[in-house]
Structure 1
Amino acid sequence: MAYQQLSKMQHAVEVTPVNEDYTPPSSTLQNYEEIHDFDFSPASPRSTVKSPSIKKHVPHWSSSTNSTAVTSEVCSTKSNNQAGLSRARSWAFEILAVVVGLGAVASIIGVVSKYNGRALPDWPHDITLNALIALLATFANAAMSVCLSSGISQAKWIRFKQASTPLSDMEAFDDASRGSWGSIKLLGTARGGFLGSFGATVAVVALALGPFSQQIATYKVRSVESDIGATIPRALNFTPALAGNTSTTGFVPILPLKAAVYNGLFAENNRPAASLPFKCQSGTCVWEPFETLAVCHECTDISSLITRYCPPELGPSPNMSSCGWQVPPGAHLNTSSDVFSMTSFIPSAYGDMPHSTMIRLIFMGTELQDTPDKLNPWASQCSLQACANTLSASVTNGTHQENITHSVLNHTVIDMSSPDPAADYGVYIAGNTDDTAYLLGMEALLSIRGWFSAIFTNGSATRTTSDFTLSVTDPDRAVVVNLTVGISSGETFFDTDIVTAFYWNYYEYANGINMLMSDLAISMTTAFRGFNGAVETNGKSITVESYVHVRWGFAVLPIAVVVATLVFLLAAMTMTHTSGTQVWKSSALVSFLHGLDHQTKERFDTNDSLAAKKKQAKAVKVKLYTDDRDNSILGVEKAAC
C-alpha cells in the first residue's frame, strides 16, 4: 500500500453504497472539503489552490450495512498534537490506582489477620474495626473504578481497531466505562468482545467488594480470666464458744452459729450458703476444688425396724388399733393418730456414738409422702457430724453455687466419762488432698450438743384435739396450724416449730427431710467458714470479652476483584501495544479530532430523534485506521498504485 503525504490536516471521506451499477466518481472530483476539527462543517469554499491528488481506497461492503472509513492527516502543528496525546498514552495513573487498590485490600487482610482471635481494639476517638475496613474498602473501590473505567474505554478503541464494528457500540462502551449499569447492558448485548466483557464483569462483581469486606470480621463473645481476682473462705478450724450455766454442757454457741441453724431450718430459700462472704466482682468466678471444715448430714431409712408400741397409759391389754409404732433406738409414735414424730439423741460422755457426732434424729410417720388415707408406717434416721468436705465452687451471674465432691469423716468413739484434764478432746479430721488436720474445738462441740438438746426436743404432729392432749409433751410450746401441704390438710397440732418445719418438708418435697438436713448442715458450714479460723482461697474471675472472629471465606471476593482488575489492566495494556492502538482511553478530545467525516454525518438526518439516530448507528460499521504518516491521526489505507 502507498500513502500520499499531505502538507496540512485534511479529512477525506467517501461512502460507497452497495450497488452493482455504481460508477465511481471521475478523477476530476478529487477536490475535497476542508473539515473543521470540532463541528466538521466546511471552513471555506473550494480553494483555487492546487491540491495534491488522492487515490481512493474503496473498502469492501457487506450486503446489510455500510462501512465507513475515516481518514485524518496532520498539518504542520504535528508536534503540538503529539505532545497533547502523549499524555493520554500514559498508564501511570491507572498503575498507581491498581497499586492503591491492592494495598487497600492487603491492608484489610492484614488488619483482620492481626486482630483475629483478639479482643476488640480500643482505638482513639471511638474508631472501630468496621469503620477502618469500610474506609479501606472505599479506597479499593475508588481505585478499581479508575482502572476499570480507563480499561473499558481503551477496549473500545482496541475493538474498533481490530475489526469493523457497528457505530452504536461506541456508546455501549462509553456507558460501560461510566458505571455498573452500563457494564450490565454491555454484557447483555454481548458486544464487548473478550476484553470489554471481562472488564464489565469485573465492574459488576466489584459492587460486592464493600459488603463482602464488612462480612470478613465478625464479633463473638467468650469468657476470659480477669486480673480482678476472686476469693472464697474455707475453714481450717472452728473453736469459739461461750460459757453458759444454763446449758447441760456448760457452753453455748456463739450467735452467728445460732443464726445459721435457724436459717437452715426455717429460711426455705434453697440458698443456705447465701451469707458466705465470697468476693467476685466480675459476677462470674471459678475455684479449683478445695477442702474445708464442714458439717455433714446422713439419713438412712430404718422402716424395716418398726414394731408396734403401746404407751403405758393404755393399760396392760390395750386395743392394738389404738397403739403406735417404735424403732429399737427408742423412738416411737404413741398412737396411730400421731401422723409424724421427731425423737432426738445427743451423744453421751460414754461414747455411744462417734465423737464427731453433734445430734442424731429419728423421724417416724404413718403416711407415705404421696399416698393419702392409707396407713403406711415409716422411719428414717438422720445425723449431723463434723467432717472435711471437698468443694467445687463457682459464681455465675452473681449467684454462688457449691457442690460437695468428697467428704472425710472421723468415726472415732471416745469415752469421756472420766476426762483427762490434759487431754485434747477436739475433733480432728485429716484432709483428703493434703496433710491439713481440720479441727472442731471441744468447747464448740459441747456448745452445739448442749443447745441442740434444748431446741430439738422430742415432739409429734397429730390432727385431732383429743389425741393432741394425750401426745403433746409441752402444751406451752404447742403450735396449732390449719395448713394444707402435700396430701396433708386441715387443722394440725405440733409440739414445736422444728417439728413443724420437718413435717412441712416431708409432705412438700419428695425427699423433704433429707433436704432440710442438708440445708441445716450447709448453713452451719457457712458459719464455720465466716468466723475466726477461716482463710481465703484464691480463684479465677471470669469476664465476658468480645473478640474478633475472621471469616476468611468472605475475603475471597475482594481479593479476586482486585486481582482480576490487575489482570484486566495488564490485558488492556498488552492488547493496546500488540494492536497498535493509540492510548486514548476515555478522552473526549479524540472524538472531536477524529470524528466521522462530513459525508457520513450527512447520512444522519438532523431532524431525526435520538432514538432514530441510535437505531441507524447500528447499521453503520466503522473501523479505526492509522498509518505511518503520523502516529496520532486516523487514516484510510491507500491502495497501491
Structure 2
Amino acid sequence: MATDAGPSSEKITSNVTSTPVDGASTPTTTTNMPSLKDDADTNGTPAAKDGLFARVSTFFGDWFYFWEVLGLVLSAAAIVSICIVVGYFDEKPPPVWSTNINIPTRETQSVSLTINSLLAILATLGSTCAMIPVTKGLGQLKYVWFIQQDRKLADLEMFDSASRGVLGSAQLVWKLRLKHLAVFGGLASLLVLAYGPFVQNLIFINIEYHPSNETSQISYVSEISHANASGILASGAPTRYMIASALSDDSDEWVVPPHNCPTGECDWEGYYTLAACTRCTDISDRLTRKCTPYKEAGIDPENGEFPASGGCEVSLPNGLSTFNIDVPTYDPAYNPGRNIMVMNTTLEPFIYTDLKGHFVTVQIILGLDPNQPASSFANNTRQLSRYRITEDSPLIARECAIIPCVQNQSFFLTSKPDSSILEPEIDVLREWTNFKWDPLAGQALVDFPGGNITYDDQTAAQRLLSHYPYFGGDWYRDIRDWLGLHLTAFTFGNSPEQTDWAMTVTRSRLPEGQDYDSTLASIMNNTHTGRWRNSYCLLADNSTRPDVECGMHKLAAGITNAMRTAAWEVPRNARKIAEGQSYSPQQICHAQWQYISAPVVVWILALVLFIGVVVKTRRAKIKAWRTSPLATLLLRLDPDSREHLKDWQRMGDAELRETAEQLKLRLKVDGDEPPRFVKE
C-alpha cells in the first residue's frame, strides 16, 4: 500500500476460488471478499450488536447439545407440573383464578384462568420443548445417514422434511420401517399431535352432589286421634288416594312423604315415625279344593236360560270359601265357580289370635291361571285374560294383620338429571310392633322405645316419639271401619258375553252404590302378573315380598303416608319435622392418569433419540450441525457427482428429486479436506 494506515485500517480478506461446475481446466480468479468480522469496531473492540445475547449464544454454542438438554429438562418439568396440578385437584372442585384489569375508557374487566387453560399452557410448553431434541436430532442424523454408506441423494430431503413437520415424519417412519434410530424421532413427531388432547383429558369434570348447608325437612307422626281436626278421615280423599296409588304400583311418587328438599337431593337417615305395619303367614296348606263339572249359561240347547253352574270351590277350615261370600251385594244368580279371589275380615283368625287393638286381620284365598304365568307379563302391557279356578290352578292363602307400630326409616330422594321425576329410595331399618290396647282411652299404644334403645339414642334420633306414641279417637275407629269394608270382598271373572267389561269385577261390603273398589282388584292383578314394584316390598335379603303379602304391605304403607300427609298439612309452626341432609350439585375433578401416557412416551422417544444422536455423532467424528442450512450449503459434491447435476438449474422439483433418487453418494470426512459428498 502507498500509505501507512496503521493497525486500525487493516482489512482481513479471504481468497475464494471460482471453478466451473463442469470441472474444466480454466484459469482461476481470486477475489478479495470482506470477512464477517469486518463489522468489528476499527479499534479492535466488538461491535455494538455483539452484546450479551450474542456472547451467551456463543458460549452455549460451544457446548454442542445445550439446547437439546434444556428442551428435555423443561419438557420433563412440564410433565411433572401437569401431574402435580392434576393430582392436587383430583376429587376437588375445579379452581378458577381470576383478577380484574382496568382498561382506560372502559369498565373493569375480569380475566380468569381455568384449570384446563393451565393444563393447555403446560401441554404447549412440554410438547414444544420435547420437540427441540427431536427436530435437531433428525437434522443431525441426515449427516450420519450418509457417512455410514452410499445413500440416495434424495434421502437428504427426506430427513430434512422429517425435521420440519408431521408429513415428513410419517414418510420417514414408513421408509425406514423401524430399522434406524431416526424412527424414534419420526414417531415422536407423530405422537406429539396427541400431547395436548391427552393432557386435556387428564382431568374429567363431573357433576356430583355434596353436602350443603341448607336444611331438609320431612314429616313424621307421633300420635294421631282427631280425624276431623287433621282432615284425614280414613274414608276421606287423602287415604283413598294414598292407598290406591300404592296398590296400583305404576309409579314411585306415592312413596314420597311430605318433605322440603331445597336442592333436589336429600337424605334422611334414621328418623322415627308412627306407622301401620303388616304381619303375614302362609296358610296355603290349610286349603281344600272341591271341583264339579263347570257349565256356562246357555250351553245346553234344551235349557239355554239356566245359570252357569259347577266349578271349583276353594275353602279354609274357618268357613272362608270362594263359594261362601260375606258381601251384601252378592247376587246368588252369579255362579260362584267364577270367583277367583276372596278376602274376609270377620272370621276367626288362625295365626294372629291374641291381637287386641290392631287395625284388621284378613284371610285371603287366590287362585291363579296356570296358562298365564307371571313370566308372560314381563316387560309388556298385556292385560290378564278372563279365567276361572280349575283342578290344576295354583292356590295361594295368606293370613295378614295390619297393626300399629313405630318404624325407623331411612329415606333418600334424588332428581333425575334430565327431568323433574323424583327417584325415592326408602328403607325400613327397624320396626317396633309391641302395642297394647287401652280400653278406657280407646287407644292403641306402641311400646317405644322399650328396653332396646337408650335415651342417648333417642337424642340422636331427634327425640322422636318419646312419650308413648298412639293411635286413637276418631281416626283409629275410622281406619278400622274402612279396612273392614274394603277387605271383606271377592273378585270374579266376567261371563263370556260381557266383553266390554274389565276382566274381573270386585264386590265388597261397601254401601249400595259404592260396591266397586279397586283395592282387591289391584292386589289380585299385580300378584298374578308379577308386576309389584320394589318400593316397600324388599326383604332384608333384597328379595321381593311374595304375592299378596306385597300388596298388604303396600296397603299399610299407603295408610302411613296418609297419616304423614295430615301431619304436614297444618300450620308450619305446628308441624312435626325431622331434619336431614341436603346435597347440592358441584363440579368435581377426577384424574384419568392413563392419559399421561402420550406426554411420557413423547419425552422418552426424545430422550432415546438424543442419546443415540450423541453416540452416532461421536462415532462419525463430525460436529453437531443439526438443522443448520449453512452446513448443508457448504457441503461439496465431487466432480463426478457434479457432472450428473450440471444442468440442475433447468430441472423442476419432481425432475430434480428423480435425478437425486438415481445418485448414490457418501459423506466423506477425512484429513484436512472439508466434508464432501463423493460417489464411490
Establish whether residue 111 from structure 1 lines up as the match of residue 129 from structure 2. Answer: no
Q: Say if 1:342 and 1:458 are closer, same or farther in 2 by CA, change over 3 A.
A: farther
Name the SS for the 1:151 alignment partner. helix
| Aligned-partner Cα distance in 2 for 1:462–1:190 | 88
Q: Are 2:593 and 1:587 aligned?
A: no
- How far did 1:184 drift? 3.8
Distance 1:517 1:395 in 2: 22
Task: Quote the Cα distance in structure 1 between the aligned partners of 2:517 and 2:87.
Answer: 66
Q: Secondary structure of the equivalent of 1:289? A: strand
Cα distance change, pair 571–272 in 1 and its aligned pair in 2 (3 A):
closer
In the TM superposition, 1:39-54 aligns within 5 A as none
What displacement does 1:539 show? 3.2
Amino acid corresponding to residue 263 of structure 1 in structure 2: Y
Q: 1:619 aligns with which of 639, 642, 663?
A: 663
1:191-590 equivalent positions in 2, closer than 5 A: 196-219=182-205, 224-235=210-221, 237-238=222-223, 240-241=225-226, 254-258=230-234, 259=236, 260-267=238-245, 270=249, 276-298=257-279, 327=318, 332=326, 354=355, 356-357=357-358, 359-360=359-360, 368=367, 372=388, 383-397=401-415, 398-412=422-436, 414=438, 416=439, 419=440, 427-431=445-449, 432-434=452-454, 445-452=472-479, 484-488=501-505, 495=512, 497=514, 500-505=517-522, 507-510=524-527, 514=552, 517-527=555-565, 530=568, 535-542=576-583, 547-573=588-614, 576=617, 579-590=620-631
How far, CA to CA, are the matches of 2:508 and 2:276 in structure 1?
35
Aligned residues: 528
Identity level (%): 18
Q: Please state how far the C-alpha of 1:445 moved relative to its aligned partner.
A: 0.9
Name 1:316's counterpart in structure 2: none
Q: CA deviation at 1:378?
A: 10
Q: Is the alpha carbon distance of 1:571 and 1:127 closer, same or farther for their aligned partners in structure 2, counting shifts above 3 Å? A: same
Conserved in 2, the CA contact under 8 Å of 1:272 and 1:519?
no
Q: Which amino acid aligns with 2:258?
A: P
User: Which residue is 2:540 aligned to?
Assistant: none
**TM-score, structure 1 length as denominator?**
0.63
Task: Give the secondary structure class of the aligned counterpart of 2:561.
Answer: helix
Q: Which has the higher mean CA deviation after the structures are superposed, 337-346 or 620-629?
A: 337-346
Q: Post-superposition shift, 1:386?
A: 2.2
Between the aligned partners of 1:573 and 1:625, the Cα distance in structure 2 is 18
Structure 1 stretch displaced more, 159-168 or 382-391: 159-168
Please give the alpha-carbon distance, in whole angstroms, between the structure 2 residues aligned to 1:165 and 1:565.
25
Pick from 125, 129, 152: which aligns with 1:143?
Answer: 129
Structure 2 length-normalised TM: 0.60
SS of equivalent to 1:287: strand
Taking the aligned partners of 1:356 and 1:438, their CA distance within structure 2 comes to 20
Structure 1 residues 586 and 463, CA, compared in 2 at 3 Å: closer, same or farther? closer
Does the CA contact (< 8 Å) of 1:151 and 1:585 recur in 2?
A: yes
Contact 2:94-2:587 at 8 Å conserved across structures: yes
1:170 matched to 2:156? The reply is yes
Provide closer, same or farther for how the CA distance between residues 13 and 599 of structure 1 changes in structure 2, counting only shifts above 3 A: farther
Equivalents in 1 of 2:442, 2:480: separation in Å? 23
Shift of 1:396: 3.3
Q: 2:363 & 2:484 partners in 1: Cα distance? A: 12
Q: Which structure 1 residue ranges, 5 or more long, are not aligned? A: 1-6, 18-24, 36-42, 44-73, 243-251, 308-320, 347-351, 465-480
Deviations 1:515-538 (A, max 9, x none): 674255323442575379874434
Mean alpha-carbon deviation: is it higher for 189-198 or for 539-548? 189-198
8 Å Cα contact 1:341-1:499 kept in structure 2: no
CA contact (8 A) 1:206 1:561 kept: yes
* Structure number with larger C-alpha Rg: 1
Letter paired with 1:233:
S
Aligned with 2:412: secondary structure? Answer: strand
Instruction: Give the counterpart letter for 1:255 in structure 2.
Output: G
Shift in CA distance, 182/81, structure 1 to aligned 2, threshold 3 Å: farther
Which structure has the higher relative contact order (CA within 8 Å, separation 6+)?
1
Residue of structure 1 equivalent to 2:103? none
What one-letter code is carried by the residue in structure 1 that aligns with 2:226?
A: A
Relative to structure 2, which stretch is displaced further, 191-200 or 382-391? 191-200
Change (3 A) 1:534 1:302: farther
Contact 2:143 2:667 in 1 (8 A): no
Q: CA RMSD in A?
A: 5.6
Cα separation, 1, equivalents of 2:119 and 2:90: 14
Alpha-carbon distance in structure 1 between the residues aligned to 2:663 and 2:601: 38
Q: Distance in 2 between matches of 1:570 and 1:230?
A: 64
* Aligned equivalents of 1:548, 1:183: Cα separation in 2: 36
The AA in structure 2 aligned to 1:254 is S
Distance 2:491 2:677 in 1: 124
Q: Is contact 1:384-1:521 (8 Å) kept?
A: no
Could you tell me which runs of 5 or more consecutive residues in structure 2 were left unpaired when the two chains were aligned. Answer: 1-12, 41-49, 99-110, 290-309, 348-352, 370-386, 416-421, 459-464, 493-497, 528-546
Show the counterpart of 2:645. 604
Distance in 2 between residues matched to 1:493 and 1:239, nearest whole Å: 25
Q: Give distance in 2, aligned partners of 1:306 and 1:403.
A: 38
**Change in 2 beyond 3 A, CA 1:274/1:497:** farther
Does the CA contact (< 8 Å) of 1:180 and 1:204 recur in 2?
yes
Residue 183 of structure 1 aligns with which residue? 169
The C-alpha deviation readout for 1:245-293, integer Å capped at 9, x for no partner, is xxxxxxx663135444333455555468567322333333333333322
The CA distance in 2 between the partners of 1:407 and 1:555, in whole Å, is 53
Question: CA 1:516–1:504 in 2, change beyond 3 Å: closer, same or farther?
Answer: farther
Q: 1:354 to 1:202 in 2, by over 3 A?
A: closer
Q: Which position in structure 1 is the counterpart of 2:140? A: 154
Contact 1:229 1:539 in 2 (8 A): yes
Q: Offset of 1:178 from its aligned partner?
A: 2.0
Q: C-alpha displacement at 1:369, in angstroms?
A: 6.5
Q: Deviations over 1:528-575 (max 9, x none)?
A: 753798744343334565544434343233213223324433554565
Equivalent position amino acid for 2:357 in 1 = S
Distance 2:510 2:172 in 1: 96
Q: Distance in 2 between matches of 1:262 and 1:590?
A: 96
Write the deviation string for residues 440-490 of structure 1: whole angstroms up to 9, x where unpaired. Answer: 677x613234435765676977999xxxxxxxxxxxxxxxx9984444499
Tell whether the 8 Å contact from 1:429 to 1:438 is kept in structure 2 after alignment: no
Does the CA-based 8 Å contact 1:264-1:520 persist in structure 2? Answer: yes
